[in-house]
Amino acid sequence: MNIAVIGTGYVGLVSGSCFASWGNKVSCVDKDTRKIDGLNCGLLPIYEPGLEALVKQNQAGGRLTFTTDLVAAVQDADIVFITVGTPTRAEQGDADLSFVYAAARDIAPLLKFGAVVVTKSTVPVGTGDVVARIIASARPPGTFAVASNPEFLREGSAIDDFFSPDRVVIGAESELSRRALLALYEPMASANVRILVTKRRTAELIKYASNAFLATKIMFINELADLCEKVGTDIEELAIGVGLDKRIGSAFLKAGPGYGGSCFPKDTLALLRTAQDHGVALRIVEETVAANAARKRRMGLKVLEALGGEGNGKTVAVLGLTFKAGTDDMREAPSIQLIETLQRFGIHIRAYDPVGIPNAAGMLRDVVFCEDPYACVQDADATVVVTDWESISELSLERMRHLMRSPILVDLRNAFLHSDAAAAGFQVTSIGHSIPAPAEPERHSVVTLVQPVHRSRSEDVRQAGTAGR
């Protein structure tokens, strides 16, 4: 098939590259000349494991091109995907659909007969109806179709998520769009991936409902972590015990400083606005949004408490800046509010992240960014783990303790075993653990019981994508 992808952001770049891997001819188009020039030179605008190699492979095979020429990209396309941004409008809290509608207006006169336009951007219910009306104003009825095909890609594991998804959702109102998308996803059907064909509006709502549920699951385990700290129990053992229930599952049961990223914060707010517009109350989602915002603010106070309540003039090392490991995305990252809170108390900040510093530098002020984690913690009065990158969780606790001015470790991701950190001489504050922490033999006894289900303890307590999508 000939495919055009409008927008070379996260969704467009990943989806276009993966579609090309199936042998389709994919043209990704963007108005940003600098971004397209960079892509044609092999420079990706985002960090995503495995994506650079995939792009280069498909470019070399002639299956993937990048252009600013909308006419060339669209005029021969069988399917045109709209993958532009839908950011939250600050005052209203709903999704800004101006880029989606502009894309629809731009491509309308260029579509060939029988082309299918697909919204892959995350959009509120009814957006496809508006897109169809926009295109219909420039084309005769029956010469095109509009469908919805929401993406479910987690940053940091997007390539695996595309090729091994839980499901593919297709929202189609016509036989033309249904046939085209089923043909495109034939490799998924051959691999026995569940393909769900629904009405267009249902597909649009599935995406928002899924993200809202996962956000709620994160905040549920975060609030239980607070309870664990008060009653003397262990949140990681609790999460394993709860997650073994097949009706619940273990994913997104990793307690931390709150969710962030480009999806959960934006999509929960947009879902709430949609519900309000239709006179429906989504109380659980409302509480999830409020609880997440409050938790991020509390994390700074948790660090201040570990410092004895006095921070003026002290230095705190922040390890990890991005909203989760595996991405350079700083949008709604818990580190932002944590750092800003600490700075208000007169604390000096040094920070390390393996890939997030370029983006963080444009969002944070008066922060000393370090390329080496040990240089970051040197002479610090406290170290805070905010993102559980492997390069952070594998640091030597003994070396860190030797370099630091004071032995205070605030582990907001439980990246280190509490007992290991204590043995290295740290005063440890973590998430969901009472002080003192449970003895190590007790922890091993629980883990041993779940070995037939979980391959290792590290996989139980370090689940991918648990801080956002």
By three-state DSSP, how is residue 196 classified?
Answer: strand
Q: What is the mean pLDDT of residues 421-440?
A: 80
Q: What is the mean pLDDT of residues 5-14?
A: 96
To which H or E segment does residue 358 belong? helix 357-361
| Structural domain boundaries in the chain | 2-198, 228-461
Q: Positive or negative CA dihedral for 353, 354, 355, 361? A: positive
Could you tell me the strand order of the sheet in which 115-119 lies? 64-67, 25-29, 2-6, 79-82, 115-119, 144-148, 167-172, 194-198
Q: What is the DSSP string of 97-164?
A: -HHHHHHHHHHGGGPPTTEEEEE-S---TTHHHHHHHHHHTTS-TTSEEEEE----PPTTSHHHHHHS
**pLDDT the model gives residue 463:** 42
pLDDT at residue 456 greater than cutoff 70? no
**What is the overall mean pLDDT for the chain?**
92
124, two tokens = 């509120």
Confidence of residue 462 (pLDDT cuts 50, 70, 90): very low
What gap in Å lies between CA 305 and CA 316, rounded to an integer?
Answer: 13
Interior CA angle at 432 toward 427 and 436, to 5°? 40
Rounded to 5 degrees, what are φ and ψ at 434? Answer: -80, 165
Q: Could you report the per-residue pLDDT of 348-378, keeping only the tens digit for each? A: 999 999 999 999 999 999 999 999 999 999 9
Task: Tell me how crowded residue 383 is: count the other CB atoms within 10 A of its CB.
Answer: 28
Residue 364 is given by DSSP the state -
144, two tokens = 């095109």
Confidence of residue 106 (pLDDT cuts 50, 70, 90): very high
So which residues are the catalytic ones? 263
**pLDDT the model gives residue 435:** 61
What gap in Å lies between CA 287 and CA 280, rounded to an integer?
Answer: 15
* Domain boundaries 228-461, corresponding CATH code: 3.40.50.720
Find where tokens 């600013």 sit: 68
By three-state DSSP, how is residue 434 classified?
Answer: coil
What gap in Å lies between CA 97 and CA 204, rounded to an integer?
Answer: 14
**pLDDT the model gives residue 141:** 87
Q: Could you report the per-residue pLDDT of 226-275, keeping only the tens digit for each? A: 999 999 999 999 999 999 999 999 999 999 999 999 899 999 999 999 99
Q: Could you report the per-residue pLDDT of 135-146, keeping only the tens digit for each? A: 999 999 899 999
**pLDDT the model gives residue 436:** 54
194, exposed or middle or buried, with CB in 10 Å at 0-12, 13-18, 19+?
A: exposed
The answer to whether domain 2-198 and domain 228-461 are alike in fold is yes
Q: What is the mean pLDDT of residues 95-103?
A: 95
What gap in Å lies between CA 468 and CA 204, rounded to an integer?
Answer: 19
> How many residues does the structure list for the chain?
469
What gap in Å lies between CA 265 and CA 321, rounded to an integer?
Answer: 17
Rounded to 5 degrees, what are φ and ψ at 430? Answer: -130, -170
Residue 424 is given by DSSP the state T
pLDDT at residue 447 greater than cutoff 50? no
- Among 206-210, 285-289, 432-436, the least confident range: 432-436
**pLDDT the model gives residue 94:** 84
Say what percent of the chain tops pLDDT 90: 89
What gap in Å lies between CA 26 and CA 165, rounded to an integer?
Answer: 21
CATH architecture under which domain 2-198 falls:
3-Layer(aba) Sandwich (3.40)
**pLDDT the model gives residue 469:** 58
Q: Positive or negative CA dihedral for 236, 47, 331, 119? A: negative
**pLDDT the model gives residue 208:** 96
